[in-house]
Structure 1
Amino acid sequence: MTNPISDIEKADVILVAGSNTTETHPVISSAIKRAVKFGGTKLIVADPRRIELKKHAHLSLSPNPGSDIAWINGMIRVILEEGLEDAAYIKERTEGIDALREAVAPYTPEHVEELTGIPAEQLIQAALVYAGVEKGSILYCMGITQHTTGTDNVKALANLSMVCGNVGIEGGGVNPLRGQNNVQGACDMGGLPDVYPGYRKVHEEPHALSMEKAWGVSGLSRTPGLTATEMVDAAIKGGLKALYVIGENPLVSEADLNHAEKAFHNLDFLVVQDIFLTETAQAADVVLPALCFAEKDGTFTNTERRVQRVRNAVEGPEGVPTDWEVTCEVARRMGVDMSYPSAEAIFDELASVTPAFGGLSYERLDGEGIPWPCPTADHPGTPRLHVESFAKGKGTFFPVAFTPAAETPDADYPLVLTTGRVLYHYHTGTMTRKSDGLNQQVGECFVEMNREDAREKNLAHGDMATLFSRRGKIKARVNISGRMEQGTVFLPFHFAEAAANRLTNAKLDPVSKIPEFKVCAVTVEKA
């Protein structure tokens, strides 16, 4: 997030795009609702479903799945046409406005209505509301990123924010809501195939040289590794022979799951390190132990970039080493002397080699945590990014054009499937589905459908239905719901026995390499 969570309640307008916030980020949704109820903040919600947060919205948009660039560009066009842009901010702090103006010109409200299904008057109203106040915050989640155009979707939102001067101010910003605990921290620590800690690119010589010096080695590769989705394809083709999976359950969470299963079966060796015997662990040659969150000592970094101390509240099972001790022991047996006296020593090394974390230490993190960048020991941390200037100087507008999803409905597969979470379960259900109370709330997979779509397929509420895509099929309980627009169905992805990802499309965003989980074509029949 460019801004802290506390800034949500300081915004004059909040645009929530592609986020079912009340079910996926309930704490942050409470901040949004407080801002609306007590702070007079205006709320715009853009989501294909009639999610609960829309009940609190001043304006609700229901774009067709996969059409986000069109309506965002349309809002920008209206703002520029009406002269509501922040001209001083654009002149002083940005570059490329003329190219953006040219790029959004075709996105008239009428054309956007054709592409997205959003009525032209609604689009105009949304643009006027967002641009008509001083401070606008944009919140988005995987409904924006999990597309073949996910990177361009984010660029479009950044363009919208900068046009109105909302980046680098209190109550503003472009704020992604992270999907899993400490996923921000994992990325910060270099848990990506193309960066060292602090997002320093492995192919950039100064970064590689600094790490070689710090570690006392030479010849570190300048070539980025594979993303998780690329590993699946590499395993299918035989180029990847072994895989070590830590705290992840890809045999439920990967797109086009039938394809992923073939890839895993093609491996010579699979290691899984986890707290439960997940579906992926059941396929492993070796299963290693792990500690849960309450048994760890270390740091987590939350969605607002705040690095926080974590202390074990309970002791782990007897004989189970900490996660980092397992990693070090594996490294030692492979011939690398990786030894540390404590988790704190690992953090100190991280701070010593990563400028953005140079001022962080366990002692300083003893309070409420510190948001990075924090380059020196006397630096207070950075709750808001880009306040005085952007990291590169001026912020650049990146014009993007609407392109359809990789797979659209046709006569054989006439419905659009989108996927997501429900309040009572988390990700692949590794932990939540072991709770009787949560299973009583939602105990099986369901397909949420519009009444007209269900009637056309002769389906009643509570029936069992079979969903087919070009990649697979599953069975799910029919839930006829007023939340769905006609032509679109929704599946939660928590249920291994009815895995939504047997249906989803593994086509990737060319930059982020994230699959298009949120749009694929399906048909539904009575089981």
Structure 2
Amino acid sequence: GVAVSPMLTVEEAWMLCSVARTIDPDAYLAVGHVPSTGADESFPGGFTIRGEKAPNRIGVEMVLSMFGAVSEGGTVPAWNDLLEQVRAKTIQSAWVTAGYPTPERSWCDEATAATFEELSCLVVQDLFESPLSNRATWCLPAVGFAERSGTWVNCGHRAQTFEQAIRPPAGVWPEGRFFWNLLGREGLYDPESIRKQIAESSASFAVLSGEVPSIGLDLRLQQVAVT
């Protein structure tokens, strides 16, 4: 099973799912833990601070839908669904991507981490040590938001691309570069080429085949225009 973190970009999520399905065509895919600080806060003028602190949950859900990771109810499996699969012992190994910037408070507590203890293999890809990484067979580094490049889809279904602002620490590969190499791609990681490949494979992302303006593109409006 694979937990696809909502901190990953659309391109990284797509490559991770591709790697997983190359290893196991039936690999269980779910959205990773979605951090939240509570309810939304709205202010005069329409400004809202979202309680959800994940930049790309919707983008990851859209990517997982491309891979057929949709339940009978039409929803994409979430973190708790993956936990249930592990508890039911229908999953023997797991790859959990995280990358949550909260070193002062782990996103995964001891009780949740204990759920994974009986797996034959556990890969954890994260920024900081956690009860889950302490149980991992393999620990892989993750990078922060400013150390990656690609596309995020925000809560308003607006897709925005961005470039890497700073380099990660020496020896640390951004997830995009790591997944790119696992897929056997040659040369330097090129998120634009992955984005175009995604756009060619999905009507939901079709508009991303061209240039994306700095203000982004509303994917819902673009889909209406296409239909």
- The count of residues paired between Structure 1 and Structure 2 equals 181
User: Structure 2 matches for 1:1-400, cutoff 5 A?
Assistant: 20-22=39-41, 29=42, 32-34=43-45, 178-190=52-64, 195-196=65-66, 227-247=78-98, 258=111, 260-329=112-181, 331-332=182-183, 337=184, 341-361=189-209, 364-373=211-220, 374-375=222-223
* Corresponding residue of 2:32: none
Higher RCO structure (Cα 8 Å, ≥6 apart) = 2
* Corresponding residue of 1:124: none
> How many Å apart are 1:375 and its aligned residue?
4.8
| Cα contact 1:309–1:369 (8 A) shared by 2 | yes
| Cα contact 2:108–2:130 (8 A) shared by 1 | no
> How many Å apart are 1:243 and its aligned residue?
1.0
Secondary structure class of the residue paired with 1:366: coil
State how far apart, in whole Å, the 2-side matches of 1:201 and 1:238 are. Answer: 19
Letter in 1 for 2:215: E
* Corresponding residue of 1:509: none
> How many Å apart are 1:203 and its aligned residue?
8.9
State how far apart, in whole Å, the 1-side matches of 2:219 and 2:134 are. Answer: 38
> How many Å apart are 1:234 and its aligned residue?
3.3
> How many Å apart are 1:35 and its aligned residue?
5.2
| Cα contact 1:243–1:269 (8 A) shared by 2 | yes
| Cα contact 2:207–2:219 (8 A) shared by 1 | no
Query: Structure 1 residues 357 and 276, CA, compared in 2 at 3 Å: closer, same or farther?
Result: same
Letter in 1 for 2:212: L
> How many Å apart are 1:306 and its aligned residue?
0.6
> How many Å apart are 1:284 and its aligned residue?
1.2
Query: Structure 1 residues 339 and 233, CA, compared in 2 at 3 Å: closer, same or farther?
Result: farther
TM-score by length of 1: 0.30
| Cα contact 1:274–1:288 (8 A) shared by 2 | yes
> How many Å apart are 1:266 and its aligned residue?
1.2
Query: Structure 1 residues 285 and 186, CA, compared in 2 at 3 Å: closer, same or farther?
Result: same
Identity across the alignment (%)? 21
* Corresponding residue of 2:14: none
TM-score by length of 2: 0.64
User: Structure 2 matches for 1:406-425, cutoff 5 A?
Assistant: none
| Cα contact 1:243–1:270 (8 A) shared by 2 | yes
State how far apart, in whole Å, the 2-side matches of 1:21 and 1:203 are. Answer: 27
Gaps of 5+ in 1: 1-18, 23-28, 37-138, 142-176, 205-223, 382-390, 392-527
User: Structure 2 matches for 1:510-521, cutoff 5 A?
Assistant: none
Gaps of 5+ in 2: 1-37, 101-105
Q: Deviations over 1:296-318 (max 9, x none)?
A: 11111111111011111111112
Q: Which has the larger radius of gyration?
A: 1
Q: Deviations over 1:230-255 (max 9, x none)?
A: 33233334332211110167xx6579
Query: Structure 1 residues 372 and 21, CA, compared in 2 at 3 Å: closer, same or farther?
Result: same
Q: Which segments of structure 1 move beyond 4 Å, counting only runs of 4 or more?
A: 200-204, 224-227, 252-255, 337-341
